[in-house]
């Protein structure tokens, strides 16, 4: 696998080696020893999967410590724009984001460490999105940011706002300046 650290240290793009032939393809989706050599020790405890249609935007989500989550995300079918926003107090990249297109074709994965808000927008007719997490879902610690916060300025590649689909929770999420977060840059 090829590990590419993004412009925000700790956020990684991972490109697997894909072996294609007449039968289809084979790839290693995750290899603990290799992952730990590049990124560090993460105790993933759960795999999640969602299916969404074109125009669905999920995020920007995070959980407060001590239930914050590192995520290793990828797309099995379709295409998404995946986004991680640094919300670690004292970080030189606080409020900055990294965006990467994940698809069934490019088979890229995206590692988002604890202390980041995360979201994605579906760019294809449908997308199946899967991710590993290192902490359980804890509703009492769940928080979010407005996807369109101008202080962050994410370019979501939204071409038609009429087809944009958000949950009620996401439409009511606060701006970064009003949000609750408890992450410190180390």
Distance CA 83, CA 122 (A): 12
β-pair type (116-122, 126-133): unpaired
DSSP the chain: -EEEE-SSTT-EEEE--EEEETTEEEE-S--HHHHHHHT------EEEEEEEETTBEEEEEEE-TTS---EEEEEEESEEEEEEEE-EET-TTTT-EEEEEEETTT--EEEE-TTEEEEEEE-SSEEEEEEEESS---GGGEEE--TT-TTT------S-GGG-B--HHHHTPPPGGG----EE--
Q: What is the DSSP letter of 112?
A: E
Active site residues: 61, 131
């Amino acid at each position: 696998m090829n590990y590419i650290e993004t412009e925000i240290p700790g956020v990684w793009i991972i490109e697997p080696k894909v072996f294609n032939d007449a039968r289809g393809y084979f790839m290693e989706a995750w290899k603990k020893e290799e992952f730990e050599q590049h990124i560090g020790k993460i105790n993933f405890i759960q795999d999640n999967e969602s299916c969404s249609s074109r125009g669905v935007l999920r995020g920007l989500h995070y959980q407060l410590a001590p239930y914050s989550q590192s995520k290793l995300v990828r797309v099995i079918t379709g295409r998404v724009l995946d986004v991680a926003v640094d919300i670690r107090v004292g970080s030189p990249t606080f409020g900055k984001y990294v965006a990467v297109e994940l698809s069934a074709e490019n088979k890229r994965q995206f590692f988002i460490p604890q202390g980041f808000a995360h979201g994605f927008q579906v760019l294809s007719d449908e997308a199946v999105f899967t991710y590993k997490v290192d902490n359980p879902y804890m509703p009492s610690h769940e928080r979010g940011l407005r996807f369109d916060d101008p202080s962050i300025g994410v370019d979501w590649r939204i071409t038609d706002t009429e087809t944009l689909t958000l949950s009620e929770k996401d439409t009511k999420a606060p701006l970064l300046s009003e949000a609750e977060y408890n992450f410190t840059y180390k």
